[in-house]
């Protein structure tokens, strides 16, 4: 039987890892999605959708499906599933890796306002300008709902969950985005301030370059910390190396 890898997905890196494994090795890959997006981007290999029912449910799933290793490639802000994944892997006695793309870092020309939460982001906005580009995703926008004097352009893949601020314009679209388009968006909507999570990655980074070029402030929500015991790599290549070093026959580069 080929070895079975469970990838916890919902990111570009998860898709790329599944595709890389399909191309290079005799391994069975299942990618798990939370099911938040109605039309997820296509995935190579098997997929399953929906929560597992906490760490116990996940560890039961790992045992029942004879999973040999787990890679948590979820979004840097998906804190609960990462905690659950490491606990479940310990319970099921299988190795687990966290694939986490590096955070963005400001250059000397950036005007960043780091904050710990969406609520803190909302509190900083009135002092920074009346027209806001909000790119923090479709959930949690209730934090901004009381800001009645500001105008929000909300960009997200799916319609955001209410309550929303009273002056909200929606822009439903999926990245990647490119610099000329981001500059055009900021200019035509006369944006004063950008709000983003520190998600990292190339696909959505041009908005930061555009804000820098236009000298706009950026309110940036810092990442939640990773569990202390997490073994972490920054990219798909690192995940493939980790799989190879496990010594499980069938994983790429494995000598076993
Ligand atoms: P979360 O708060 O860490 O997870 C909440 C619960 O959702 C988990 O306890 C788990 O339910 C379920 N879940 C999360 N990811 C799952 C997965 N890949 N497969 C199966 N169940 C999953 O996560 P979140 O912030 O709501 O994010 C949900 C998903 O969207 C993640 O997979 C993440 O990669 C993706 N995403 C999140 C963000 C973000 O900003 N948070 C941005 C882009 C993409 P059970 O306890 O029942 O197992």
- Tens of pLDDT, residue by residue over 63-115, are 999 999 999 999 999 999 999 999 999 999 999 999 999 999 999 999 999 99
Ligand 1 pocket (Cβ < 6 Å) reads: 8-11, 32-34, 36, 51-54, 57-58, 74-75, 77-81, 84, 137, 197
Q: What is the mean pLDDT of residues 221-237?
A: 96
Residue 164, CB-side half-sphere exposure with 13 Å CA sphere: 18
Ligand 1 atom closest to Cα of 136? 40
pLDDT above 70 for 173: yes
Residue nearest to atom 26 of ligand 1 (CA): 78
pLDDT above 70 for 136: yes
Best probe residue, ligand 1, of 31, 71, 81 (max atoms within 8 Å of C-beta): 81
Give the pTM: 0.94
Q: How many angstroms separate the first and last alpha carbons of the chain?
A: 14
Burial class (CB in 10 A: 0-12, 13-18, 19+), 176: exposed
Q: How confident is the model at residue 235 (pLDDT cuts 50, 70, 90)?
A: very high
Residue nearest to atom 22 of ligand 1 (CA): 34
Please report where in the chains the tokens 């027209």 appear, as a residue. Answer: 131
CA of 215 to the centre of ligand 1 (A): 34
Query: How much of the chain, in percent, has pLDDT values that exceed 90?
Result: 90
Cα distance between residue 215 and residue 66, in whole Å: 53
Check residue 255 and give its pLDDT.
Answer: 59
pLDDT above 90 for 24: no
Fill in the DSSP letter of residue 233.
E
Mean pLDDT of the chain: 95
What the chain holds in terms of domains, given with CATH numbers, is 4-102+224-245 (3.40.50.720), 112-221 (3.40.50.720)
Query: How much of the chain, in percent, has pLDDT values that exceed 70?
Result: 98
Check residue 256 and give its pLDDT.
Answer: 55
């Amino acid at each position: 039987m080929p070895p079975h890898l469970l990838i916890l997905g919902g990111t570009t890196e998860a898709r790329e890892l599944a595709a890389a494994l399909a191309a290079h090795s005799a391994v069975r890959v299942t990618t798990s999605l939370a099911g938040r997006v109605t039309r997820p981007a296509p995935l190579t290999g098997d997929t399953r959708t929906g929560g597992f029912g906490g760490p116990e449910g996940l560890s039961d799933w790992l045992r029942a499906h004879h999973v040999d290793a787990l890679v948590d490639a979820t979004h840097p802000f998906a804190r609960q599933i990462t905690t659950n994944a490491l606990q479940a892997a310990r319970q099921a006695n299988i190795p687990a890796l966290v694939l986490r793309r590096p955070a963005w870092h400001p250059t000397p020309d950036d005007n960043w306002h780091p904050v710990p939460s969406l609520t803190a982001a909302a509190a900083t906005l009135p002092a920074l300008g009346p027209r806001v580009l909000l790119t923090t995703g479709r959930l949690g926008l209730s934090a901004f709902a009381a800001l009645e004097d500001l105008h929000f352009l909300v960009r997200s893949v799916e319609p955001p969950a209410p309550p929303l601020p009273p002056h909200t314009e929606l822009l439903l679209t999926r990245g990647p985005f490119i610099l000329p388009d981001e500059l055009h968006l900021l200019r035509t909507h006369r944006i004063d301030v950008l709000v983003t999570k520190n998600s990292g990655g190339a696909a959505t980074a041009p908005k930061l370059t555009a804000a820098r070029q236009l000298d706009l402030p950026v309110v940036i929500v810092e990442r939640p910390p990773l569990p202390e015991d997490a073994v972490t790599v920054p990219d798909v290549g690192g995940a493939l190396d980790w799989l190879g070093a496990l010594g499980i026959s069938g994983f790429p580069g494995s000598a076993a």
